[in-house]
Amino acid sequence: MQRRTLLTTSLTGILGAAALPAAPLRPRELKADLAILGGGTGGCAAALGALREGRRVILTEQTRWIGGQLTSQLVPPDEHPWMEMFGGTRAYRQYREAVRGFYYSHFPLTGEARRRTPFNPGGGSVSGLTHEPRVSLAVLEALLAPYAASGQLTLLTEFKPVATLTSADRITAVTVEHTGENHRITLAAPYFIDATEQGDLLPLARCEFLTGAEGQSQTGEPSAPSTPQPANIQSFTVCFAVSHHDGENHTIDKPEDYAFWRDYIPRMTPPWPGKLLAWHMSNPITLEKRVVDFDPRQDQPQAGAPLNLWLYRRIRRRLNFTDPQLDADISLINWPQNDYWLGNLHGVPEAEAARHLRRGKQLSLSLLYWMQTEAPRADGKAGWPGLRLRHDQSGTEDGLAMYPYIRESRRIAAEFTVLEQHVATKGRETTGAEKFADSVGIGSYRIDLHPSSGGDNYIDVSSQPFQIPLGALLPQRLENLIAGAKNLGVTHITNGCYRLHPVEWNIGESAGALAAEALRTGEPPRQIRRKPKLLADFQARLRSHGVQTEWPSLSPR
């Protein structure tokens, strides 16, 4: 039964207990070498990047779970096709192997599953490592646990930034507030990393930033609109997980907004092909109608058949396990059918953001209810009442993700901004993506923009394997703030390929290492970038830790 305890009890409490005194001795002020705001994928990697250099780190996270995309947002990794061999940092690849190791150690795997290389716990098609979010949570907490136990790391979960103190062009302190209690802590450090999901520190610190779509007049990007559209932001998604139990009825109560979403026809350019709740959608590349399938009884894709959405992000494949209690596949629902684009979560008043988040949750619940009751089936029936909402996967009372899946953040006005022309395949078929002299990492993904709040349908453009320039992590003015997630110097367009899990990890890891290097050398990050010797030394240090700064010769995605 021990393995079940590991999956039903978060280890965050252990880390928090190691990092903070018990009440009533709760601190009002904390100091460290580095304060990282946001404990998502990039924030965790940033902490590891600084901790391994011996630096004292404070890491905050708004939800109860560290890990962001991988955990509280419920999204298994989206990865490029070479990830099993190369194309990610050593630390990220160690995280991936630790996920597999957790299954080997704590789950009753079949002999066939143990022999399969590489092992994919869920057997999903979106990547080679679709798995349950609580496993990522356990792995990330285990990676950080030794540092928390020694006192080198202070982890504050359920804290979010609410205020800053600045002097000249430096942040001197950030105040964080507990999301459920009237308790604030002021964090002081020489360096700060914003690794929040939506760049929440940027407006608080009065850091210059951008939102939404830049215009062609600003960037010259072929896929950009002619004029700036700062409120035109990619959709967010409130994800959830379901299992299927044939012959059982797990139908939820009808959501309050079900009538609206059942009949909703998106209005966008180019047009969406009919209702949102349907087994069809826009083809992301051609924008023509794409028919998809849904059948939770299938274990493998059927030759010549449309994409079975059940298998796409399946995070548990029951045939991998011998325990009869693990008797059902579990699939993660993060589809176009529950993308929410009728409003934004940042750049609007707090009450409006809360309203859009509520509507996004209602959309996801309406999709589930539609699948349970009305969705057409190939056998002529309607609905799959055996679909069961998995609260155990989300760790929430409503069964929905703790935090919405955020595709597009506020973005710093950076020393250098990556444009479509730097990475898109068109025009760079033979040269590859732009080579950046200040590269601090690599990534690969198509420029994949989901429908947006400005009424745009998909924007999907082929891109080359690319580099992460150090200049994109540095604001133009503030001297001790570093971007550590999707808030780096990219555009609305290039955000579409810099936003995925392994890239965000690399951004965060390099940001944490950069703060440590600035402390080691006594030189600010901007000077490390500008001085060739300092830059070369930093890049060599990154490579010694397994951060790739160049791609081998590859074919474009």
Own/partner long-range contacts of 109-114 (Cβ < 8 Å, ≥24 apart): 109/320, 109/321, 109/322, 110/319, 110/320, 110/321, 110/322, 113/319, 113/320, 113/321
Neighbours of 18 (CB within 10 A): 18
Is 261 among the domain residues?
Answer: yes
Q: What is the pLDDT of residue 16?
A: 47
Is 497 among the domain residues?
Answer: yes
* Residue whose C-alpha is closest to residue 185's, from 25, 14, 16, 26: 26
By the 8 A CB rule, do 482 and 294 touch?
A: no
CATH number at residue 158: 3.50.50.60
Q: What is the pLDDT of residue 15?
A: 53
In the chain, how many domains are there? 3
Asked if omega into 525 is within 30° of 0 (cis), the reply is no
Is 400 among the domain residues?
Answer: no
- Cβ burial of 557 (10 Å; 0-12, 13-18, 19+) is middle
Neighbours of 157 (CB within 10 A): 22
Asked whether residue 328 falls in the same domain as residue 244, the answer is: yes
Q: What is the pLDDT of residue 203?
A: 98
Structural domain of residue 502, as residue ranges? 211-233+408-476+488-544
- Of 185, 204, 223, the residue that ends a domain is 204
Torsion of CA 274, 73, 173, 49, to 10 degrees: -120
Residue 258, CA distances (Å) to 139, 240, 394 in order:
37, 17, 22
* Residue whose C-alpha is closest to residue 65's, from 103, 91, 92, 39: 39
Asked whether residue 227 falls in the same domain as residue 259, the answer is: no
Asked whether residue 525 falls in the same domain as residue 416, the answer is: yes
Is 557 among the domain residues?
Answer: no
Which is it for the CA torsion 535, 539, 542, 544, positive or negative?
Answer: negative
Q: What is the pLDDT of residue 346?
A: 98
- What is d(CA 484, CA 511) in angstroms, rounded to the nearest whole number? 6
Which is it for the CA torsion 307, 309, 310, 312, positive or negative?
Answer: positive
Residue whose token pair is 């959830």: 240
Asked whether residue 419 falls in the same domain as residue 521, the answer is: yes
Q: What is the pLDDT of residue 21?
A: 44
Asked whether residue 379 falls in the same domain as residue 505, the answer is: no
Residue 167, CA distances (Å) to 35, 66, 205 in order:
17, 31, 10
Is 549 among the domain residues?
Answer: no
What angle is formed at CA 286 by the lines to CA 290 and CA 443, rounded to 5 degrees? 105
- What is d(CA 550, CA 547) in angstroms, rounded to the nearest whole number? 9
Neighbours of 233 (CB within 10 A): 28
Burial 465-493 (b: 16+ CB within 10 A, else e): bbbbbbbbbbbbebbbbbbbbbbbbbbbb
Asked whether residue 430 falls in the same domain as residue 538, the answer is: yes
Asked whether residue 379 falls in the same domain as residue 445, the answer is: no
* Residue whose C-alpha is closest to residue 45's, from 369, 507, 430, 414: 507
Q: What is the pLDDT of residue 262?
A: 98
Task: Please report the DSSP string for 16-36 in residue order.
Answer: HHHHSPPTTS--SEEE-SEEE
Asked whether residue 23 falls in the same domain as residue 158, the answer is: yes
Is 28 among the domain residues?
Answer: yes
Is 248 among the domain residues?
Answer: yes
Asked whether residue 241 falls in the same domain as residue 229, the answer is: no
- What is d(CA 498, CA 408) in angstroms, rounded to the nearest whole number? 10
Residue whose token pair is 């579990």: 330
- How far apart are the two ends of the chain, measured CA to CA in Å? 44
Over the chain (557 residues), what is each successive 10-residue block's mean pLDDT?
34 45 68 98 98 98 98 97 96 98 97 96 95 98 98 98 97 97 96 98 98 97 98 98 97 98 97 98 97 96 94 97 92 98 98 98 98 97 98 98 98 98 96 98 98 98 98 98 98 98 98 98 98 98 98 66
- Of 338, 368, 394, the residue that ends a domain is 394
Asked whether residue 186 falls in the same domain as residue 284, the answer is: no
Asked whether residue 378 falls in the same domain as residue 506, the answer is: no
Asked whether residue 370 falls in the same domain as residue 415, the answer is: no
Is 216 among the domain residues?
Answer: yes
